Amino acid sequence: MRERRALEALIGTYVATVATPALALSGRSPALSVTRIPALAAAGAVVAVVVAVAARRIDDIAGAAATLPVAVASVVPALAYLPYMVLATTPGSAAARVAAVGLLAVLPGIGVPVGGAVLRSRRVREAATEVAVVTVGGTDDEGRDWPVLAGGAVLAGSLVAVAAFLAVTVDGGFEAVWPAFGGVSTTFLLLFGDDGSEVAVTDEGLRVDRAVTGWDDLDGYRVTDERIELVRSRWYLPARTFERERISDEDALLEGLGEFLPRLDRHGRVEAGPTR
């Protein structure tokens, strides 16, 4: 429950941070002038609370947040402040500072789909019934939640762009903006670290350590002389492979996969359908 509330708060923070500066810069609200920082902060707080409360009406908020359209919608509007700052503001002006706040909305914006992916994976993991559990030695593809890592990679690129731009436009230079990015390195270590190699076939999907990939996201599996490969046709979900010699119980893994996925040949043709 606390994790859901945190995601709701993150959504509210993003909407407030990206929308309030836009309203102020548009000049349509005299009460929200770019020079009235206290009024802007109060308006942002109200928007954040209202959006967070409204988000409670979404039943599957984690599943809704962890989608590609939401990831795009939570990044592009914030990044739109970057060309605005370059083309329409003077460095160090009140408008530039307000636009910089809108640009920083990329931080909670990226956190929305990443947080949704983490919560969805946890929910599925807790509800799943395990059919077979094996251990696999470390490979490049094992033990990572790819939607989370993709969000982390976008966040890293966004942070570099935002920090570089603010460092040359905000008074005080790099030293003035760096504290805003404190702790990010720790987050990246948690996201990209390889924290285990337990593989479980469950009725909900394939679990690799804490990350769960639903069966609907997999087209089938393929067995070669050296590897077992899980095939995915979606461009943003790379194939996942396990080296056969590093699997503790290959027969158990193959039997479990055969219950839920078709076995494919090297041309993608079905050799055997799922038994369940």
The structure's pTM equals: 0.65
pLDDT tens digits for range 107-132 = 888 888 888 888 888 888 888 888 99
* Nearest Cα residue to 212 out of 83, 74, 136, 118: 118
Taking the CA atoms of residue 212, residue 218, residue 222 and residue 223 in that order, the dihedral angle to the nearest 10 degrees is 10
**Secondary structure of 74-133 as H, E, C letters:** CCHHHHCHHHHHHHHCCCCCHHHHHHHHHHCCHHHHHHHHHHHHHHHHHHHHHHCCEEEE
> pLDDT per residue over 221-258, tens digit each?
999 999 999 888 765 566 778 888 889 999 999 999 99
Contact 169, 85 (CB under 8 A): yes
State pLDDT tens for residues 137-165: 754 444 445 455 555 555 555 555 555 44
Kindly tell me if the per-residue pLDDT of 183 is higher than 50: no
**Averaged over 69-78, what is the pLDDT?**
86
The pLDDT, as a whole number, for residue 162 is 52
Distance between alpha carbon 30 and the CA centroid of its chain, in Å? Answer: 37
Binning pLDDT at 50, 70 and 90, where does residue 83 land?
confident
The pLDDT, as a whole number, for residue 155 is: 55
Query: What is each CA distance from 154 to 211, 230, 259, in whole angstroms?
Result: 19, 25, 36
Count of C-beta atoms within a 10 Å radius of residue 68: 12
What value does the mean pLDDT of the chain take? 77
Q: How confident is the model at residue 181 (pLDDT cuts 50, 70, 90)?
A: very low
Higher-confidence residue of 27 and 156: namely 27
Residue pair 48/8 in contact (Cβ under 8 Å)? The answer is no
* Mean pLDDT of the 19-27 span: 86
Distances in whole angstroms, Cα of residue 260 to Cα of each of 137, 162, 276: 23, 44, 6
pLDDT digits (tens, 9 = 90+) for 35-58: 777 888 888 899 999 999 999 998
In this prediction, residue 139 carries a pLDDT of: 45
Contact yes or no for 170/180 (Cβ under 8 A): no
Give the span between the Cα atoms of 48 and 41, in whole angstroms: 10
